[in-house]
Structure 1
Amino acid sequence: MSHRKGVLKRRLEYIGMFPFVLAGMIYGRLFPLKKKTSTFLFFPSADIGGAIKVNADIAACMKDQQPLIIFSKKPKNNGHLEMFQGFDVLDLHEQIDNKLYHFVNFFYRGVLAAWINSAPNATIFGGESLFFYKMLAHVNRNVRRIELCHLDTWLPYSIGFIDLITLRIFSTVKLMKDVEEQYKKTGVNPSYAKRLRFAENMIPIPPYRPVNNETLEVIFIGRGAPQKRVPLIAAIAEKLHQINAPIHFSFVGDVDNVIDPAQYPYCTFYGNVRDEAKMLELYHKSDVLILTSAYEGLPLVVMQMMAHGRIVMSTAVNAIPDYVRHMENGLLIHATSEPAIVEEGATLLQWLVEHPEVKETFGKRGREIAIEKFSGEVFCREFRKFLYTDNDF
């Protein structure tokens, strides 16, 4: 979709919903927000996932501003809900995430718009939240509107709103470059490219602890989502098990919805791990993080493994090669067909078994990159600037 078509579609939709939005605005003025704030953070939910963890980190950086967090999507597990304790949270998913009575969604857009428009120096921030985009047409132009994007899957949709967004922040340089190319190809006014920003995600950097495993410990950490292609990892594990390679695989996350753990008795399945201490110990005891994703931003698990001084082996997709450099601090699978990915992944892990000396060398180099790029101090400073002061466009 081009920007022009997106704007036209947005305006036609606005005409149909206007009576409900107006009713919500009237209600919002009659019943103003009890606890005043000028910072409104729009997040989908508190489900387990890297993007949600980033949202929680951003909220923590703004805690002194007493932000209101708005959840809008029906959660699958709310596994990260504890990260939002101590914040004012408005969970609207039961009211607005239902197509059968979508007019209620329109009404709440009006309510929130009334609250936002009445707040002095208001800022709204969207962390991959569809509802954030829906709000943009209803807030005043003097409201700062900041978007964060991790994946290119949002780009065909979000281009219809770029005239309403103050700053667009991307978690990888490649994604920002992709948007610049999208603007050129679709004839977007070049001035909008000046609103694009890049920011690294953050993680705490743990003390370095070496590990000496007799068996190569390979771990997958993530969701059982289709783009993660967990069955490919299971196939790699099976292939190596058949030749008795000294390699053990572990899985963390809800992978039982895409593979049957009973078929892989030689692997360890932890399920969703919510205990932070246990999760840190799993990072420490592992040698290799394995990812076979079809697409990725920069997953937090990659950053975590690098910070622990461990090796990341991943398909060479999206931003991964910007941080994982083949045969320097990690291993990249360049194959694209699924059978070839399985074959190349198994071959690389066998090579690693035959060259154990590189585990520490690769790991320490990855840790150096993590220390340089992922500190919390830099992260908070950048996002506070984006949300409140950056007008350089």
Structure 2
Amino acid sequence: MIYSLLLIKRSIEAVLLAPWIGLGRLIASWKPLREEYDIFLFFPFYHVGGAEKVHSEIAKLFPGKKVMIFFTKRSVNDAMLPAFEAPGNTIRDISVYTDNKFLYFNNLIWRGIMAAYISRQQKPPVVFNGQCNFAYKLSPHLPAHIRQIELIHSFCSFSYIRLPFIRFYEATVMISRESIQRHLELYRQYGVPAGYAERIRLIMNGIPLPKDTAPLEGTDMLLYVGRGTPEKRAHLVAAIAKEAGVTAGFIGNVEAAIPEALRAHCRFYGELTDAARIDEIYRRHRVIVITSIREGFPMVIMEGMARGLAVLATDAGDIPFHVREGENGFLLKHLDTEENIITAGAQLVKNWAPEKLEAMRENNIAYARSHFSMEAFAEAYRSLFFKA
């Protein structure tokens, strides 16, 4: 089976890379960590993004613990970096060593350095991998008594990258039912032992719920929050706005993804990190729009629902588990043609009566309060990290 071949490949690589790993361990003995840590967190980036926002919330869940955070990939900007700061947290960006393909040997050496740092802690720490390639490559070099936990945000390239390393992870966190099902199917296809399925844990993302949810005056109808990457299809939001004769607001670096002919129907706010400003913009809109071809369960839907926005979204990922047709929003078929999505979306926007939006507003605020609280999110992660 494919899984067995992946294990053989990883074992051969381990032999070939052993000298570099050994050199890293030797360097760590010359320059050891100065403090003891309870938790090691490995994340790729700290630029603006939904995954990065989740990672920053996780990084702040452990007051009273000593936490070391490593970033291993070059970030586009440092906008989210302050969000990872908390008492007891130490932050190090090692991407200059681990994200340079021309000096790739540094990545190998740092695997040895990290392995030594972690294994030499007096009390075994918890190691957490937030969808980080470097951390997967590190995982075989850590002692078996050190608990390793991974987080997978969606079914993506990491779903395949991680397979040779899942035996080293005590628990796998996934954020959506749809993602779990797709990974279980992949396990079956590749011949992964059935026992690894039992390590998967569903922990939905949480958000800080706003105290003030009153809508603000002078609102535009539609709001898009996210990246301008191809799978998000932000241009469909702009096209829906044009056909419906309304304006769509965009938070994020998406302007380049919108054709020039559609920009007259758009209001671009750019990348934002100020929570008060983001909250204000949400409350100046009535509908949060997602047009993705694939999703897990987007945090922007949680944030929009918590402020009373109705939802207009493709039925990708776990979105249909939370959006009920006519009650708190409407769904578009994510596999439909772009033309049909635009037409159907625009028709819904045109027919959305104010009284219907108000009813959805109340439904969504109540739903968010009962399903998306940070308290449940925090308790789930703390229980997983430090089992009684």
**Normalised TM-score (structure 2):** 0.94
Q: Determine which of 178, 181, 184 is the counterpart of 2:182.
A: 178
C-alpha deviation, 1:58, in angstroms:
0.6
State yes or no: 1:380 paired with 2:383.
no
C-alpha deviation, 1:174, in angstroms:
1.8
Contact 2:242 2:262 in 1 (8 A): no
* AA of the residue aligned to 1:312: V
Aligned equivalents of 1:164 and 1:145: distance in 2?
7
Q: Which residue of 1 aligns with 2:116?
A: 114
C-alpha deviation, 1:9, in angstroms:
2.2
Aligned equivalents of 2:218 and 2:113: distance in 1?
60
* Superposition map of 1:1-20 within 5 A: 2-20=2-20
* AA of the residue aligned to 1:255: V
Q: Determine which of 128, 131, 134 is the counterpart of 2:134.
A: 131
* AA of the residue aligned to 1:137: P
Q: Which residue of 1 aligns with 2:99?
A: 97
- Identify if the C-alpha distance between structure 1 residues 214 and 280 changes in structure 2 by more than 3 Å, giving closer, same or farther: closer
* AA of the residue aligned to 1:107: I
Aligned equivalents of 1:254 and 1:29: distance in 2?
43
Q: Which residue of 2 aligns with 1:328?
A: 327
Q: Determine which of 166, 177, 196 is the counterpart of 1:192.
A: 196
Contact 1:37 1:68 in 2 (8 A): yes
* Superposition map of 1:304-319 within 5 A: 304-319=303-318
* AA of the residue aligned to 1:284: R
Contact 2:287 2:309 in 1 (8 A): yes
* AA of the residue aligned to 2:153: H
* AA of the residue aligned to 1:253: G
State yes or no: 1:56 paired with 2:60.
no
Aligned equivalents of 1:262 and 1:236: distance in 2?
13
* Superposition map of 1:226-305 within 5 A: 226-241=230-245, 247-259=246-258, 264-305=263-304
C-alpha deviation, 1:113, in angstroms:
0.3
Q: Please state whether the residue corresponding to 2:276 is helix, strand or coil.
A: helix
C-alpha deviation, 1:64, in angstroms:
2.2
Q: Please state whether the residue corresponding to 2:250 is helix, strand or coil.
A: strand
Aligned equivalents of 1:58 and 1:155: distance in 2?
21
Q: Which residue of 2 aligns with 1:221?
A: 225
Corresponding residue pairs, total = 383
**Structure 2: segments with no counterpart, 5+ residues:** none
* AA of the residue aligned to 1:104: N
Contact 1:28 1:114 in 2 (8 A): yes
Q: Please state whether the residue corresponding to 1:357 is helix, strand or coil.
A: helix
C-alpha deviation, 1:182, in angstroms:
2.4
Contact 2:6 2:164 in 1 (8 A): yes
Aligned equivalents of 1:98 and 1:214: distance in 2?
48
Q: Please state whether the residue corresponding to 1:287 is helix, strand or coil.
A: strand
Contact 1:38 1:116 in 2 (8 A): no
Structure 1, 204-213 or 166-175: larger mean CA deviation:
204-213
C-alpha deviation, 1:209, in angstroms:
3.1
State yes or no: 1:359 paired with 2:361.
no
**Structure 1: segments with no counterpart, 5+ residues:** 242-246
C-alpha deviation, 1:211, in angstroms:
2.9
Deviations 1:215-241 (A, max 9, x none): 752111111111111111122222223
Q: Determine which of 143, 152, 155 is the counterpart of 1:152.
A: 155
Contact 1:5 1:160 in 2 (8 A): no
Q: Please state whether the residue corresponding to 2:354 is helix, strand or coil.
A: coil
C-alpha deviation, 1:214, in angstroms:
7.7
**Normalised TM-score (structure 1):** 0.93
Aligned equivalents of 1:360 and 1:208: distance in 2?
16
C-alpha deviation, 1:270, in angstroms:
0.9
- Identify if the C-alpha distance between structure 1 residues 189 and 363 changes in structure 2 by more than 3 Å, giving closer, same or farther: same
* Superposition map of 1:9-88 within 5 A: 9-86=9-86, 87-88=89-90
Structure 1, 28-37 or 88-97: larger mean CA deviation:
28-37
Aligned equivalents of 2:37 and 2:98: distance in 1?
22
C-alpha deviation, 1:105, in angstroms:
0.2
Aligned equivalents of 2:103 and 2:305: distance in 1?
46
Q: Please state whether the residue corresponding to 2:178 is helix, strand or coil.
A: helix
* AA of the residue aligned to 2:155: D
RMSD of equivalent CA atoms: 1.8
C-alpha deviation, 1:14, in angstroms:
1.5
C-alpha deviation, 1:369, in angstroms:
2.1
Deviations 1:66-94 (A, max 9, x none): 21000000111222111022431110111
C-alpha deviation, 1:114, in angstroms:
0.3
Q: Work out the percentage of aligned pairs sharing the same amino acid.
A: 32
C-alpha deviation, 1:285, in angstroms:
1.4
